[in-house]
Amino acid sequence: MVTHCGNAAFHWGKRTYVMGIINVSPDSFSGDGLDSVSAALEQAKRFVVEGADIIDVGGESTRPGSAPISVDEELRRVVPVLERLAGEIDVPLSVDTYKLDVASQALDAGAQMINDIWGLKKEPKLAELAAEKGVPVILMSNQREKPCRRIIPELIFDLKRSIDIALDAGVHWDNIIIDPGVGFGKTLEQNLEIIRRLDKLKVLGRPVLLGTSRKSMIGLVLDLPAEQRLEGTAASTAIGIAKGADIVRVHDVEEMARVCRMSDAIVRGVKG
């Protein structure tokens, strides 16, 4: 399986790819929100040197209880950053949004992928936009509005719905990536089960993105604040790769790129 994103090609199954997080929201749960284009550019350049294969730019915090921001405010935060990054770094850019206008203008500004935390449920027209532009889309399963009891069957059912929305709109099969949505409306036990049984999502036939970086699940297990969750992130990332993760979304790129390389050497027999 191969997904093309800008000038890059992701050969799923060959190795684990690293997505570096650029938060331009002041209330990011992880405490890494950036307040200027120059700061975002500096961090993105560092991420590329450290091993990021793609940069994900988000302007609205997705932490539990955070208040939505207006389209205009989100555009004000992300578009200048994307424009600057597009001109100065070589890896593909992703926009983390579920809003049609934001995604459209982000793609015009240089983004080459859409990362939708609602899996096209909030705004199905995002699928039409992705199809029109020929860009990959990440579809997350989000239980914040509808908690469930049997997490793995629910994830498979929910992600299948998102995939169908994408396909019906004309999104190419190779441009669909799925994300179980660790931390989005799940209990601690469910989040741990997702990682433990991540391989069950392979029935859907699409590459899997895993995002556990600094999340509350780790804090609850280790009783540590966000800035001290590096080892917990590493453990969940390594086990996720062993269970079939194809791409990991992280705050600590250098360290997690090393975790990916070591895990790939063990799991996939890939060195370097």
Nearest to 78 by CA among 49, 54, 51, 107: 107
Domains and CATH numbers, the chain: 14-267 (3.20.20.20)
In what side-by-side order are the strands of the sheet with 54-58? 176-179, 137-140, 113-116, 93-96, 54-58, 17-23, 247-250, 209-210
In angstroms, the CA 3 to CA 207 distance is: 9
Q: Cα–chain-centroid distance for residue 103?
A: 15
* Secondary structure letter of residue 204 according to DSSP: G
- Please give the biggest Cα pair distance in the chain: 47
Q: What is the pLDDT of residues 162-198, one digit of tens each?
A: 999 999 999 999 999 999 999 999 999 999 999 999 9
Provide the pLDDT for residue 30.
47
Distance CA 246, CA 201 (A): 12
Active site residues: 215, 249
- In sequence order, the 6+-apart residues with CB closer than 8 A to the CB of 149 are none
pTM of the model: 0.94
pLDDT in tens, 31-54: 455 778 998 999 999 999 999 999
Per-residue pLDDT of the chain (272 residues; tens, 9 = 90+): 899 999 999 999 999 999 999 998 875 544 455 778 998 999 999 999 999 999 999 999 877 767 788 999 999 999 999 999 999 999 999 999 999 999 999 999 999 999 999 999 999 999 999 999 999 999 999 999 888 899 999 999 999 999 999 999 999 999 999 999 999 999 999 999 999 999 999 999 999 999 999 999 999 999 999 999 999 999 999 999 999 999 999 999 999 999 999 999 999 998 76
Rounded to the nearest angstrom, the gap between the alpha carbon of residue 272 and the centroid of all alpha carbons in its chain is: 24
User: Tokens 């049984």 identify what position?
Assistant: 197
